[in-house]
Amino acid sequence: MALIKPHGSDKLNPLFVYDTAENEALQKEAESLASIVVSSATAANAVMLGGGYFNPLTGYMNKADALYVATDMKTTSGLFWPTPVLNLVKAAGAIKAGDRIALKDPNVEGHPVLAVMDVKAVEEFSDAEMALMSEKVYRPKPPEVHPGVEAFNAQGKVCLSGPIKVLNFSYFQNEFPDTFRTAVEIRNEITERGWKKVVAFQTRNPMHLAHEELCHMAMKRLGCDGLVIHMLLGKLKKGDIPAPVRDAAIRKMVELYFPKNSAMITGYGFDMLYAGPREGVLHAIFRQNMGATHFIVGRDHAGVGDHYGAFDAQKIFDDEVPAGALKIEIFKADHTAYSKKLDRVVMMCEAPDHKKEDFVLLSGTKVREMLGKGIAPPKEFSRPEVAEILIRYYQSLEK
């Protein structure tokens, strides 16, 4: 049985230049090209284009495609797509349509060339168009500040569009050699493991017992051969746990509590958008492109603050994603928690006879307080071996 097809094409088309001679020739050519140091979001888009996660896109969107995607979730050519993929700058300087330019990495010392771009258009969004995209994609709740909208608008309003060739994967390959994987590599590994039905789990946090059990639950109910834990390795908001700590905690959990050859621990190089429902759909496209047949969408998926309803990221698949637009199937999950009555983790919606006090529920603030004091959360909330790694991290912050 062949793997699930990628989004929008029969085969995956990563934009990374794998041919060594061509890559070196482009690196050499880039030295003589006009160059710009791009935003972190633009760099992350290049990494995702390079790895095949943004298949079938060939580069950065132009103004018309970005506005269409924001309002209608499709490009002008009719390709289903949930979020604009842009190269935004504050000013283009002398760069004009027809130029070939080097895109430099803002996140690596010395700003090495990340990609070479053929500029098809240089356009500017009006304030009203920036506001429209912010409203449609991020769905913020004023007057609250939305970190995704802030980051989006901070890049500038000038849009450089056109195809790119990606020359490296920024800091992700060096800093996370055991975890960072392209969609190409994950597809290959799924094939090597002989998995047919694969469920993916997205995380930007360490996994507590409820997350772990949710993965076991999804695998069992869907009859999956394997699980891909796919963690975000890019920029987060202040206060989120750094990727190396999450990575160590998740590896320990899988090593001790998952059967051999049942779970892959991987990560991808993207900055969190915090775009709730729209980002949930984007996450589904990533997972289809990397070969997963199913994707877990939980409570407040990709959310931030109180900007979204608890299940908005599930509803969008029913209400706004056209039938057949995606091949991947969504596993909708409720909040999972340990039931004192049943002595196991359950989905809260599947325990209608329970009251709030029948569950072991701890707020993120409370957990962080406990870990900072060197106290492990109860075993019904977190595996002790995972808690130990997090305690070491939180105590290091106090020093």
Question: Which amino acids are annotated catalytic?
Answer: 204-205
The partner residues of 162 in beta bridges, in order of sequence, read: 60
Interacting residues of 33 by C-beta distance below 8 A, sequence separation 6+? 100, 101, 102, 116
274 φ, ψ to 5°?
60, 40
Tell me the two tokens of residue 378: 């109860």
The partner residues of 297 in beta bridges, in order of sequence, read: 332
The partner residues of 346 in beta bridges, in order of sequence, read: 337
CA 32 to chain centre: 34
Distance CA 7, CA 259 (A): 31
Q: Cβ(291)–Cβ(187) under 8 Å?
A: yes
Closest CA relative to residue 202, chosen from 300, 312, 320? 300
List the alpha helices (DSSP H) in the chain: 20-30, 40-51, 63-72, 127-133, 147-154, 172-175, 183-193, 209-222, 243-257, 276-289, 312-319, 364-372, 384-398
Closest CA relative to residue 16, chosen from 182, 255, 233? 182
The tally of CA atoms less than 13 A away on the side-chain side of residue 212 is: 24
DSSP state letter for 250 = H
- For residue 223, give Cα distances in angstroms to 66, 220, 227, 299, 383: 38, 5, 11, 22, 25
Q: Cβ(86)–Cβ(42) under 8 Å?
A: yes
State the DSSP H helix or E strand holding residue 266, giving kind and residue range, or none if neither. strand 263-268
Residues in the chain: 399
